[in-house]
Amino acid sequence: MFKVLTYDNISIAGLERLPRDRYEVASEIQHPDAILLRSHNLHGVPIPESVKAVGRAGAGVNNIPVAEYSKRGVPVFNAPGANANAVKELVIAGMLLAARNICAAWDFARQLEGDDEVIHHQVEKHKKQFAGFELAGKTLGVLGLGAIGVKVANAAVALGMHVIGYDPLLTVESAWQLSSSVARAASIDDLIAKVDLLTLHVPLNDQTRHLVNAARIGIMKKGAVLLNFSRAGIVDDASVCNALNTGHLTAYVTDFPSRVMLKHPRAIVLPHIGASTAEAEENCAVFVADRIRDFLENGNIRHSVNFPDVVMPRTEGIRLGIANENVPNMVGQISSALADANLNILDLLNKSRGELAYTLIDLNSEVPPETLERIRAIKGVLSARVI
């Protein structure tokens, strides 16, 4: 039996990918083989010795200390693109909420009193304060053209907007998906200086923390709208607050509320619901549960954020999965240990990614415990298990 510890609300469709006759899945469990989570913060949470894999049912992994798991030879999986459509739809909604002052107009309408004639009179008298602008013809800047950014850019083109994008690490896959109408900015500053609305779709990391700060807001057009459905921390909220106060920014729309933004009349703050649709929750949970299962049962790695993709079809025999540092002579030392135990290698696949590597080896017979311990003791081996 494999044990899977869950945090957060994981879609049942995903949990059902882990059959009950082979998996014990619970929110409280001792010695888990894997952790399945959404936004729960794992920073500072001790890593149980037993954990072999972590699955993030979503895109962002800034809630997971990936480097610490890497040192332990534990792959962290996510679900790239599985919730992108949900976020795209909320971003489009966010642009419309801001452009048409929908939140303030709704608040106004809900507090009206009196009979229909009075209400009608009040509506016609005051509606001018909620006059907005149309998205068609406006310029949208999309920072980060990954799974979400590409979908947002293409949808904005379909709405008649001019779209400019910036992503120095644009993948070939994203480039294929992106509308040819999307123009390319030369830099972040070039992008944000040109746009009427700016939407952020980058991960939170050391390069993107406070990427939108007072200096950058200063070069945005007066009256621009900022949308942040990426992460708190990418935007310096205090600077955005100042810009909203002076009118330099017309609106800030986000699903990452903070104290300074909560009650601000020009901020539209939502709970973190970008990915909260039945479809996205199911897509993410199914995607990542399948990856966790394939890793636990076959040692295969697909869509890990820290290890390379290593997938070998399962044949007869015993399989060894070894995570190691990407340094010379690892495979040589592992092979020697196996040869000394008189084990014959049927198949072997070794791949590296940055400082890490992963090796799958199919063998003709059982690995003696002392051989496994010898492999684990090789300098640079991070984890090794018989599968």
Ligand X SMILES: O=C(O)CCC(=O)C(=O)O
315 binds, among ligand NAI, ligand X, none (CB under 5 to 8 A by kind): none
Residue 376, burial from CB neighbour count under 10 angstroms (0-12, 13-18, 19+): middle
Q: How far is the CB of 215 from ligand NAI (least distance, A)?
A: 16
147 binds, among ligand X, ligand NAI, none (CB under 5 to 8 A by kind): ligand NAI
Of 54-62, 127-135, 217-225, 234-242, the window that binds ligand X (rule: CB under 6 A) is 54-62
Sign of CA dihedral 11, 290, 356, 1: positive
38 binds, among ligand X, ligand NAI, none (CB under 5 to 8 A by kind): ligand X
| Residue 277 within binding range of ligand X, rule CB under 6 A | no
Nearest Cα neighbor of 27 from 56, 3, 44 is 3
255 binds, among ligand NAI, ligand X, none (CB under 5 to 8 A by kind): ligand NAI
306 binds, among ligand X, ligand NAI, none (CB under 5 to 8 A by kind): none
Which of 18, 51, 59, 334 binds ligand X (CB under 6 A)? It is: 59
| Residue 60 within binding range of ligand X, rule CB under 6 A | yes
Ranges within 70-89 binding ligand X (CB under 6 A): 83
Residues 35/64, Cβ–Cβ less than 8 Å: no
Contacts with ligand NAI, residue ranges (CB under 6 A): 58-60, 80-81, 83-84, 87, 143-149, 166-169, 174, 201-204, 207-208, 229-231, 255, 272, 274-275
The token pair at 278 is 């039945």
Cα 355 to its chain centre, rounded Å, is 22
39 binds, among ligand NAI, ligand X, none (CB under 5 to 8 A by kind): ligand X
Nearer to ligand X, 142 or 367 (CB): 142
> Parallel, antiparallel, or unpaired: how do β-strands 249-254 and 224-228 relate?
parallel
Of 57-65, 143-151, 259-267, 365-373, the window that binds ligand X (rule: CB under 6 A) is 57-65
Nearer to ligand X, 196 or 237 (CB): 237
203 binds, among ligand NAI, ligand X, none (CB under 5 to 8 A by kind): ligand NAI
Q: How far is the CB of 315 from ligand X (least distance, A)?
A: 35
Under 8 Å CB-to-CB from 3, ≥6 apart: which residues?
Answer: 23, 24, 25, 26, 29, 30, 31, 32, 33, 34, 50
| Residue 276 within binding range of ligand X, rule CB under 6 A | yes
C-alpha–C-alpha distance, residues 274 and 255, integer Å: 7
Q: How far is the CB of 131 from ligand NAI (least distance, A)?
A: 29
Nearer to ligand X, 78 or 239 (CB): 78
Q: How far is the CB of 9 from ligand NAI (least distance, A)?
A: 13
Nearer to ligand NAI, 201 or 303 (CB): 201
Q: How far is the CB of 40 from ligand X (least distance, A)?
A: 9
Length of the chain: 387
The token pair at 300 is 């295969």
| Residue 146 within binding range of ligand X, rule CB under 6 A | no
The token pair at 87 is 């976020």
Nearer to ligand NAI, 65 or 149 (CB): 149
Nearest Cα neighbor of 34 from 45, 23, 43, 44 is 23
Closest residue to bound ligand NAI by CB: 146
Residues forming a β-bridge with 171? none
Nearer to ligand X, 107 or 279 (CB): 279
Q: How far is the CB of 14 from ligand X (least distance, A)?
A: 11
What is the torsion angle, in degrees rounded to the nearest 10, for the CA atoms of residue 155, residue 158, residue 161 and residue 165? 50
Nearest Cα neighbor of 88 from 139, 136, 150 is 150
300 binds, among ligand NAI, ligand X, none (CB under 5 to 8 A by kind): none
The token pair at 43 is 């920073």
- Give me the DSSP letters along 271-282: -S-TT-SHHHHH
Nearest Cα neighbor of 288 from 71, 64, 48 is 64
Residue 183, burial from CB neighbour count under 10 angstroms (0-12, 13-18, 19+): middle
Residues forming a β-bridge with 269? 254
| Residue 291 within binding range of ligand X, rule CB under 6 A | no
Residue with tokens 């479809």: 279
| Chain positions contacting ligand X, by CB under 6 A | 38-39, 58-60, 83, 274-276
